[in-house]
């Protein structure tokens, strides 16, 4: 079963490919980048939830897929308690349009400069939207709670991974190997729900 990922982000494609490789059920999904069909169509991610934005992207990609193609879209981000849930759905654009991971990370570090360690709670949230050949839509969600370091640490992962320490850990996601992160991340939890649904097909 081929799932076309509604993203041109190589990091996301690799992470989803690793998650798909862990599936042991009767359905073994194969992740294909949107680049396989000419790239992700331009969309405006203007929903106020991760699920809403994921559906916007999945619907747009499904419209350009072959008749039997499945579109998979991810929308995820970091919600910081001390910032009222920001950056949230604007996580990828926190430092402005076209911002890099480094730009976003630097802005978050600065925004939390005077926030004490006891108030640095946060969670990564993820919504996966799946749109099938018949237009049927499914959404699967996952959350990973944790806390934020004062300064980035680690060289792995991407985005806000160098700041985020999941509950029960002392290391950031960026200090973990990909397999370890994938076993506990918000995306992994949303994927587990999706994989369980696939097993019922």
Residue 67: C-alpha distances to residues 12, 52, 64, 70 (Å) = 24, 24, 9, 9
- Which of 68, 74, 75, 101 is flagged as catalytic? 75
- Which token pair is 192? 């587990």
Contact by Cβ (8 Å): 160, 78:
yes
Q: Name the DSSP class of 73.
A: E
Q: How many Cα neighbours within 13 Å face the side chain of 30?
A: 5
Q: How many CB atoms lie within 10 A of CB 92?
A: 17
In 3D space, the residue among 79, 74, 75 whose CA is nearest the CA of residue 146 turns out to be 79
Q: Is 75 a catalytic residue?
A: yes
Q: Tell me the three state secondary structure of residue 76.
A: strand
**Which residues does 181 contact at the CB level (< 8 Å), separation at least 6?**
156, 157, 161, 173, 188
Active site residues: 75
């Amino acid at each position: 079963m081929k799932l076309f990922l509604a993203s041109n982000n190589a990091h996301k494609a690799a992470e989803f490919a690793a998650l798909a490789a862990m599936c042991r059920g009767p359905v073994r999904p194969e992740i294909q980048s949107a680049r396989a069909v000419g790239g992700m169509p331009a969309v405006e991610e203007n929903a106020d939830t991760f699920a809403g934005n994921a559906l916007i992207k999945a619907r747009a990609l499904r419209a350009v897929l072959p008749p039997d193609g499945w579109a998979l879209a991810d929308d995820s981000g970091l919600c910081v308690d001390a910032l009222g849930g920001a950056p949230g759905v604007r996580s990828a654009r926190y430092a402005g349009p076209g911002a890099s991971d480094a730009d976003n990370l630097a802005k978050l570090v600065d925004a939390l400069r005077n926030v004490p360690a006891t108030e640095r709670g946060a969670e990564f949230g993820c919504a996966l939207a799946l749109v099938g050949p018949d237009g049927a839509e499914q959404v699967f969600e996952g959350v990973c709670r944790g806390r934020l370091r004062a300064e980035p640490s680690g060289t792995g992962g991407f985005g806000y991974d160098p700041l985020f320490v999941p509950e029960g850990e002392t290391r950031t996601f960026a200090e973990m190997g990909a397999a370890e992160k994938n076993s506990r991340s918000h995306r992994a939890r949303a994927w587990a729900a999706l994989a369980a649904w696939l097993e019922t097909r």
